[in-house]
Structure 1
Amino acid sequence: MTPTPRPIRTIPDAFVHETTEREGAAGAAWLAELPGIVAELLDRWSCVPDGEVTHGAVGLIVPVRQRGDGVEGEAAVLKVSFPHPGNVHEPDAFAVWRGRGAVRLYERDDERFAMLLERASSVTLAESRAGAGAGTANGNRTANGNGSGSGSGNGSGTANDTGTGSRVSDALATVAGRLSRRLAVPAPPGLPRLADQAATWEAELRRDDAELAHSLPRRTVDAALATVHELARTQPDLMLHGDFHARNILRAEREPWLAVDPKGCAGDPAYDGGSLLKARVPALLDAPDLGRAVHRLLDVYAEAAELDRERVRRWSQLHAVQAAFWGRRHGFRLTRARSAHADAGTDPLVRAAEHLAQLLTD
């Protein structure tokens, strides 16, 4: 007998606030429909809620168990995301990987922007000090939706580059690099190609350089533009995560670490290395020598991912310049959350992005 699903009791207040603040009336209307959407999907996919409802930046995460014929089944999560073009190809990426380095996709409803996914723990690579897998996950909460979107300035832990902190950073880069290597499989037709964004990236860099009061030297901006011309316009047809950072890598049981929240796109795998490094920088700011810490992370990641170190450096430099300009124009969400009157000119994350961009300029 198929179980009668219990309705979700509450949607987390933080998710309601963030969604309405970001999406306005459209977000409020979607939130009003969300309990009904979840109930419909639980019924259709024969699931019952099995834990605390959580959320990522754009998706509600409902821990569930699949059941049928009165037998309790596999632990999973129901993820329902706000309908947005950036979320369209997430299930496509999971379908390509089929559990290779990422959580498995069990069911999908593209019209609802919903998926039934393998459940992983809530322990992210950013939070773990277990490094390359020597420890065990602490807790069984689930968080298959930790991504916080582009331009958000995600921190990745608090370890500095001394002693244990350096070893943790090396282990993090090793885990991420090996995972990136596994995800870089041939991409099918129909997925967005990063190469198609090259012209937009160039136009945005030139516009931001001209319009914003920034502190980046001419040679730093020129280096980013050169990367667009020389690397971005022609790229391999390999799967990318697209938002690859340590908070989108979760502890799991089937494999030590699994990726979540992919954008689902194709291009140069070294691009994902730039995403990882950009998000890692806040954790390295207390390092005695930031330049040394950054280049060490590049070395370890590139070796583990079996990528050309110079390509990873150049993509990382482009990411840093884009992040610095984003912070100047829009402000980082983390800084805005701390102060409604934050000044981009004094924002430590903007300054960190600009410093990183210069450190990575050859």
Structure 2
Amino acid sequence: MSAAFALPAATIEAWSIDSAELIADTPSSLVFRVRRLCSTNIVKSLKPAGLGELPGLDFLEWRQGLGAVRLIDRIGVSCLLEDGGTQTLRQHLDLRGDTEATDIALRVLNKLHAPSDRTAPAALVPLERHFSSLFCLAETARSSDLEGLPGWAADTARGLLSAQQDQRPLHGDFHHENIVQDASGEWRAIDPQGLYGDPVYDVANLFGNPLGYKTLILDPARIIRLAETFSSHFGCRPQKVLSYGAIHAMLSAAWMLEDGYALPGDTRLTERLAFARIAKSLLVEQFVD
């Protein structure tokens, strides 16, 4: 019960929480698995640094449990969520392989992208604003910095964003750690960012995940396979899919640099840049128009 004392008393009373276990303490939030009314739920409480995740809560409320965990209630910056389970798609990949994990991700994405008769939340972040850190990096970096990747990625992003199709609400942070399976076997997404734009962007983060799987992430054969699989799913060219993957990697690098990560030495930043470099080469050599 001790972890429950980190939750406001009013929240504990309002949601009839009997006990709570702190399961994650991140720069943006505190996450608890709570027991209430003979079942378990998740309580996520945003810190000041995590207020940018509020559009993600709007996305969950709009989706109403289709493809994502259900948002049950909100009090201020805290939300009561359905417990999606403890098995992640990353763990499933370890057991059953990347191909099956990719198939599961696309089945979940189909539900996340399914039409709704409800109006999309007004607070969802458009992709143009989402990519602001990449555009800033491209403006401030010298042409020789990071092998010219920021400028190339920014130009590529502008081209993609100016030609977006079928724009809709997006999860925005769709990857192996944010896809979970409950005891009944159902897979659902958690922790959306809440974006709005071209649905192809929602597979961009799958290229660079699971985190730490460098050999897999930087394997050109895997990159090509994902690009072709996702292009078939969306009915678009592999070039478009891989371009979104590349610019997302550079956006991630821009965020890391803003947060003080530096080269050489940081493995995650190095991995993101290495993926962008390989993707750029494949776009020229493998997926030429």
Deviation of 1:301 after TM superposition, in Å, equals 4.0
Deviation of 1:240 after TM superposition, in Å, equals 0.8
Match of 1:266 among 176, 193, 196: 196
**What are the ranges of 5 or more consecutive residues in structure 2 without an aligned counterpart?**
284-289
CA distance in 1, matches of 2:111, 2:6: 36
Asked if the contact 1:181–1:305 (Cα under 8 Å) also holds between the matched residues in 2, the reply is: no
Match of 1:61 among 21, 31, 43: 31
Counterpart residue number, 2:287 = none
Counterpart residue number, 1:152 = none
AA at the equivalent of 1:52 = E
Deviation of 1:350 after TM superposition, in Å, equals 2.7
Which of the pair is proportionally richer in strand? 2
Asked if the contact 2:204–2:241 (Cα under 8 Å) also holds between the matched residues in 1, the reply is: yes
RMSD: 3.0
Asked if the contact 2:178–2:189 (Cα under 8 Å) also holds between the matched residues in 1, the reply is: yes
Residue aligned with 2:106, SS: helix
Query: More deviation in 229-238 or 115-124?
Result: 229-238
CA distance in 1, matches of 2:222, 2:107: 20
Match runs of 1:18-97 below 5 Å: 35=6, 37=8, 39-49=9-19, 52-57=21-26, 58-67=28-37, 72=38, 74-83=39-48, 84-97=50-63
CA distance in 1, matches of 2:29, 2:210: 23
Residue aligned with 1:316, SS: helix
CA distance in 1, matches of 2:44, 2:218: 41
**What are the ranges of 5 or more consecutive residues in structure 1 without an aligned counterpart?**
1-7, 12-33, 130-158, 333-342
AA at the equivalent of 2:120 = P
Deviations 1:303-362 (A, max 9, x none): 456665332211111012233344455455xxxxxxxxxx62133333322221121112
Counterpart residue number, 2:286 = none
Asked if the contact 2:124–2:169 (Cα under 8 Å) also holds between the matched residues in 1, the reply is: no
The question of 1:291 aligning with 2:257 is answered no
Residue aligned with 1:120, SS: coil
The question of 1:314 aligning with 2:246 is answered no
The question of 1:10 aligning with 2:3 is answered yes
CA distance in 2, matches of 1:95, 1:251: 20
AA at the equivalent of 1:78 = V
The question of 1:197 aligning with 2:129 is answered yes
TM-score using structure 1 length? 0.66
Counterpart residue number, 1:15 = none
Match of 2:186 among 256, 275, 290: 256
Asked if the contact 2:43–2:81 (Cα under 8 Å) also holds between the matched residues in 1, the reply is: yes
Residue aligned with 2:88, SS: coil
* Runs ≥4 residues deviating over 6 A: none
CA distance in 2, matches of 1:308, 1:43: 52
Counterpart residue number, 1:276 = 206
Deviation of 1:100 after TM superposition, in Å, equals 0.6
Counterpart residue number, 2:87 = 123
Structure of larger gyration radius: 1
Asked if the contact 2:23–2:31 (Cα under 8 Å) also holds between the matched residues in 1, the reply is: yes
AA at the equivalent of 2:210 = R
TM-score using structure 2 length? 0.81
Residue aligned with 1:42, SS: helix
CA distance in 2, matches of 1:93, 1:222: 31
Which of the pair is proportionally richer in helix? 2
Change in CA separation of 1:116 and 1:209 when aligned onto 2, cut-off 3 Å: same
Residue aligned with 1:88, SS: helix
Residue aligned with 2:193, SS: coil
Change in CA separation of 1:189 and 1:119 when aligned onto 2, cut-off 3 Å: closer
Asked if the contact 2:179–2:188 (Cα under 8 Å) also holds between the matched residues in 1, the reply is: yes
Asked if the contact 1:174–1:300 (Cα under 8 Å) also holds between the matched residues in 2, the reply is: no
